[in-house]
Amino acid sequence: MPFDALVMRAVESRWRNTIQGGTCVRIQCAKNRLLLTVKLAMGQSRQLLWVLQPGLQRLHETSQNALDQKMPTPPWLQSLVPFTVEDISVPPFERVMTWTIAYQDDWDQPCQARLVIELAGHLTNLVLTTMTGVTVEAWRKIAPGRPGRPIWPKLPYQPPTPPEPPQKDSAQGLPPWATQWLAEGGHWETLMRDLQAGFPNPAVFLRNHTREEVWVYPLAGFTAEPAPDLERALDAVFARREANLLREGLAAQLLSRLQSRVKHLEDKLAQYHMNVYEDESRWKMTGDLWLTHRHTFEKEPGLDQLTVSDYEGNPLTLILPEGQTASQAASEAYRHYKKIKARKEAMLRLIPRLQKERQELEALCQEAQKGVHGIDWYKSQLRVSAAESAAGREREPFRHFVSSHGVDIWVGRNRDENVRLTFQKAKPDDVWLHTKQAPGSHVILGCGKSRPHNDDLVEAAELAVFFSAAASSSNVPVDYTCRKFVRKRPHAEPGQVLYQREKTLYVTPNPDRLRRLGAISEKLIDD
C-alpha cells in the first residue's frame, strides 16, 4: 500500500497537536532515510522517521533511537539544527507535507525557512526553500533541462502538480483506496468530515493471506482490527514489511549464488566425465611404434615420416617433429600417455567430491526457496558463500602439501608467489629447493631447525620437478639449501635468486607419490 494522502492527512493532524511548537535537536541520516529527535514543551522527546525510499516512502513516529548504516547528515540540513517547528501543513489529497521552521543562521540571526517533504513515488524528495519559495537545497537535486521538475538551488521551487479537486460521488482526484472504499458503500460526507477533522478515529490494521496494511477505514478483502495509535501501527507494519523485503532480497541473492555455483560444478563435471573417456592407450602404442621403427629413421637421416601398421593392422603415419629424433618422439608420446592417465585417475577421485558438493548445494537451494528462515540465516549463508567464492577466486596464497612425516611443503605458483614464499613466508632454517638450470617453482620444506627426513626431502624435490619445465624429464637435478642462504639477484626479474651452500638431489617424479601428496589434482584444479 502506498502511504496515501488520507494517511498523510491523519499524520499531519496528529503532528499539529504534538510536534508543532517542538524543537528538532538532532537529525540522523542513512541511505534514503532521516531520524529526527524533537523535544516538546513538557520535556518529552519524539523520534520521527522520514523514509525517502520509493515504494516505502512515509513519515511517522518511530520507536527507533538510531539508524543502521549511518551516513553524515548533509551540511545544509545539519546547519538548521536546532530548529523550531512553527507550522505543519498538507494540501488536500496530496502527499506533500511542509514544515515552517525557525532557526538561527551563522551570525545567530533568527531565520525562517520551509522543509518540504514530497512522498511521490520515485519523485520522493526533501527540499529546503526560503519563505519566498526559492529552492535552497534538496535531498535529490534535478538540474534544469533534465526530465521532470527542476529542483535546483536558487531556482523557484515548483511543487508537484496538484490532483484535480475531487467531485462529490466521483473517484476523480481521490487516492485509489478511497475510491475502493466509496465503491464498497462508504459515504462521501463521512470522508469529507473525517478528512477535515484529520481522521480522529482509530486507524485500522488490515490483513489478508498475503498483505498487512494500516489505513483509515476497513476495506473488503481484509480482516480489520483497530489500531489506536496510527503512527506506532505504521512503524510496526512497515518494519515488518522492510524485514520481509530484506529477507526476500537476501534469499534471491543467496539463490543466485548457489545456482551459479551449481552451474559451474555441472560444467566442470561434464568436462571431467568427457575427459575420463579419453583413450590414453593410443599414445602408448604410438610410443611403442616409434621405438620399434626408430632404426628406420636412424638409417635414413632425411626421413621425416613413415606409415606403419598399428596393433589392429590399421595404417598409422609417424611424423617426426623437426629437430627431434625417433627416441625423443617416443618419449614425448609416453609423456602424453602418462599425463592423460594421471589426469584420468585424478578426475575419477575428484568427480565424487564434486557430485557431493553439487548435491549439497542443490539441497541448500531448496532450503533457501522455502522462505521459512529468518534474516540471520540468509546472512550467515551468504557469508559462507562469499568466503567460499573468495577462497575459490583467491585460492591459498601458495600450493600446500604435507609430507609423509607431517611436514608442510609450500610451492609457489608464479614469480610473485615465489618471491613472497621465499622471502616472507619461509623461516631462515627452512629448506629451499629449486630445479637446477630449469625454470620452475620455489619450494619450501617447512622443517625449521630440525633435520628433515630423507623421504620428506625427496618428496619436496619431486614437487619442485613436477611444478617446473622439467616435469616430463627423468633424473632431474634439484638444488637445496637453507632459506637463509638464498638472496634476491640484483637488478633481476622477480623470482630470480642467488644461493650458496647448496646440495643437489637427482630425482625422477614418482606418479604414485605425487598422487598421494595431491599434486596431480592440485595441478588440474589450477589449470
Asked whether residue 159 is assigned to any structural domain, the reply reads no
Least confident window among 87-96, 168-177, 188-197, 222-231: 168-177
Asked whether residue 394 is assigned to any structural domain, the reply reads no
The pLDDT assigned to 491 comes to 84
Q: Are 405 and 517 members of one domain?
A: yes
**Which residue among 370, 387, 410 closes a domain?**
370
Q: Is the peptide bond before 82 cis (omega within 30 degrees of 0)?
A: yes
CA pair distance 52, 127, nearest whole angstrom:
12
Per the listing, cell 489500531 goes with 227
**Which residue among 92, 109, 138 closes a domain?**
138
Quote the cell numbers at residue 174.
Answer: 481521490
Spatial contact of 257 and 393, defined as CB atoms under 8 Å apart: no
Percent of the chain with pLDDT over 70: 96
The more confidently predicted of residues 494 and 144 is: 144
Q: Are 209 and 296 members of one domain?
A: no
Asked whether residue 158 is assigned to any structural domain, the reply reads no
What are the distances in angstroms from CA 342 to CA 55, 317, 338, 436? 58, 26, 6, 25
- Helix, coil or strand: residue 361: helix
CA pair distance 412, 426, nearest whole angstrom:
11
The more confidently predicted of residues 171 and 390 is: 171
Given a cut of 60, is residue 321 above it in pLDDT? yes
Strand partners, 221: none
Q: How confident is the model at residue 527 (pLDDT cuts 50, 70, 90)?
A: very low
Given a cut of 90, is residue 503 above it in pLDDT? yes
Strand partners, 127: 116, 138
Quote the cell numbers at residue 189.
Answer: 460526507
- Strand order through the sheet with 431-435: 399-402, 408-411, 443-445, 431-435, 476-482, 503-507
CA pair distance 285, 283, nearest whole angstrom:
5
| H/E segment holding residue 237 | helix 230-276
Quote the cell numbers at residue 460.
Answer: 619436496
Q: Burial code of 448-462, b = ≥16 C-beta within 10 A, e = fewer?
A: eeeebbeebbbbbbb
Q: Strands (DSSP E) along 270-424, which ranges?
A: 305-309, 315-319, 399-402, 408-411
Spatial contact of 45 and 254, defined as CB atoms under 8 Å apart: no
The pLDDT assigned to 434 comes to 96
**Number of domains the chain is built from:** 4
The gap from C-alpha 142 to its chain's centroid, in whole angstroms, comes to 31
Q: What is the pLDDT of residues 201-215, one digit of tens each?
A: 999 999 999 899 999
The pLDDT assigned to 394 comes to 47
The pLDDT assigned to 494 comes to 84
What is the domain range of residue 197?
Answer: 176-228
Average pLDDT on 386-399 reads: 65
| Arithmetic mean of pLDDT over the chain | 90
Asked whether residue 161 is assigned to any structural domain, the reply reads no
**Which residue among 138, 157, 187 closes a domain?**
138
The pLDDT assigned to 150 comes to 94
Compute φ and ψ for 315, nearest 5 degrees: -70, 140
Q: Are 325 and 414 members of one domain?
A: no
Cβ neighbourhood burial of 355 (10 Å; 0-12, 13-18, 19+):
middle
Q: What is the DSSP string of 455-521?
A: HHHHHHHHHHHHTBTTTT-SSEEEEEEEGGGEEEPTT--TT-EEE-S-EEEEE---HHHHHHHTHHH
Given a cut of 70, is residue 149 above it in pLDDT? yes
Asked whether residue 460 is assigned to any structural domain, the reply reads yes
Q: Are 444 and 513 members of one domain?
A: yes
Average pLDDT on 81-85 reads: 97
Residue in 66, 183, 53 with CA at minimum distance from that of residue 126: 53
Average pLDDT on 251-269 reads: 92
The CATH number of residue 110's host domain is 2.30.310.10
Q: Are 121 and 223 members of one domain?
A: no
Q: Are 48 and 125 members of one domain?
A: yes
Q: How confident is the model at residue 393 (pLDDT cuts 50, 70, 90)?
A: very low
Strand partners, 499: 486
Average pLDDT on 143-168 reads: 89
H helices then E strands: how many in the chain? 13, 23
Q: Strands (DSSP E) along 202-314, which ranges?
A: 203-207, 212-215, 223-227, 305-309
Q: What is the pLDDT of residues 351-362, one digit of tens each?
A: 998 999 999 999
Average pLDDT on 234-252 reads: 93
Average pLDDT on 224-247 reads: 93
Asked whether residue 247 is assigned to any structural domain, the reply reads no
Asked whether residue 26 is assigned to any structural domain, the reply reads yes
Cβ neighbourhood burial of 141 (10 Å; 0-12, 13-18, 19+):
middle
Asked whether residue 148 is assigned to any structural domain, the reply reads no
Percent of the chain with pLDDT over 90: 67
* 326 residue type, one letter: A
Q: Are 332 and 415 members of one domain?
A: no
Q: Are 403 and 465 members of one domain?
A: yes
Q: What is the pLDDT of residues 408-466, one digit of tens each?
A: 999 999 999 999 999 999 999 999 999 998 899 999 999 999 999 999 999 999 999 99
Q: Are 18 and 55 members of one domain?
A: yes
Q: How confident is the model at residue 2 (pLDDT cuts 50, 70, 90)?
A: low
Quote the cell numbers at residue 202.
Answer: 482509530
Q: Are 365 and 419 members of one domain?
A: no
- Taking only Cα atoms into account, the Rg of the chain, rounded to an integer number of angstroms, comes to 38
Q: Are 349 and 408 members of one domain?
A: no
* 155 residue type, one letter: L
Residue in 131, 181, 142, 161 with CA at minimum distance from that of residue 6: 181
Average pLDDT on 472-489 reads: 92
Residue in 273, 268, 311 with CA at minimum distance from that of residue 292: 311
Q: Are strands 486-488 and 497-499 parallel, antiparallel or unpaired?
A: antiparallel
Per the listing, cell 620444506 goes with 445
Spatial contact of 114 and 98, defined as CB atoms under 8 Å apart: yes
Spatial contact of 203 and 230, defined as CB atoms under 8 Å apart: yes
Quote the cell numbers at residue 386.
Answer: 562469499
Spatial contact of 6 and 177, defined as CB atoms under 8 Å apart: yes
